[in-house]
Amino acid sequence: MRIDLTGRTILITGASGGIGKAVAEQLANAGATIALHYNQQKQTAEKLAAEIGNNSSAFKADLADEKEVINLFEAVIDHYQNVDGLINNAGIAIPSSPGKDDRLWLKDWHATLEVNLNATALLCKKAIAHFLPKQEGRIVNITSRAAFRGDTPEFLAYAASKGGLVSLTRSIARGYGKSGIKAFNIAPGFARTDMAQGFMDLYGEQIALDDIALKELTAPRDIAPMIALLISGLADHATGCTIDINAGSYVH
């Protein structure tokens, strides 16, 4: 089976590193043009866009700012006149002890949901509006095993945001399937990314290794091929599904 994405334009959030970078490279190798979102890593994103080619470009946005989220999607449309797929990969995980002062804890809670859930929902809304006239489009949302098995007390907000994302994706799949719009969840566990490193810095890498069934932690390159398959249209009848890529640490 060969995946051919020639002529398709895909927006990937958080594309300057980690899973987003691996996905951008995978999709570009299949012929796609990539709109790479970044927040702070301008040089890294622009370098990646140049390396993967196919008229790919980098777009800046702070996903904690709803105006910038809206402007991101509109800037991509202005640049390419079209988007065929959206991959919501960007996310944050702020460790916040329940023993914190209420106001400080709520600040962390709101910041997490703003990026992980609110920005993703808004981009999905914009994508749906763009997809409807042409009756085709695909969305892949990167959730987490934490949406299903929960997380530690310091990461309550992270787990809650990812749980909301699962329901959002399922609702899009059920509500817009007959309009040609498909939506999927990918649920990684520990993966070697900057975000996961925060957890391992807090608890130690051995805890992560002891928690999985395989010998080594999942790498971004282990996740990218499945996303390429879903965005290609070769697995459209899996719309609404969640695919676990977590090295056997959570099976359901």
d(CA 49, CA 22) in angstroms, rounded, equals: 12
176 a catalytic residue: no
Q: How far apart are the first and last CA of the chain?
A: 28
Ramachandran bin of 88, using left for φ above 0, alpha for ψ from -120 to 50, beta for the remaining angles: beta
d(CA 203, CA 80) in angstroms, rounded, equals: 44
Pairing of strands 57-60, 137-142: unpaired
- Judge residue 183's burial from the number of C-beta atoms within 10 Å of its C-beta, 0-12 exposed, 13-18 middle, 19 or more buried: buried
Q: Which member of 158, 176, 203, 250 is catalytic?
A: 158
d(CA 140, CA 129) in angstroms, rounded, equals: 16
**Adjacency order of strands within the sheet including 9-12:** 57-60, 33-38, 9-12, 85-88, 137-142, 181-188, 242-245
Coil, strand or helix: which one is 43? helix
DSSP-derived secondary structure letter, 132:
G
Q: Which residues does the annotation mark as catalytic?
A: 158
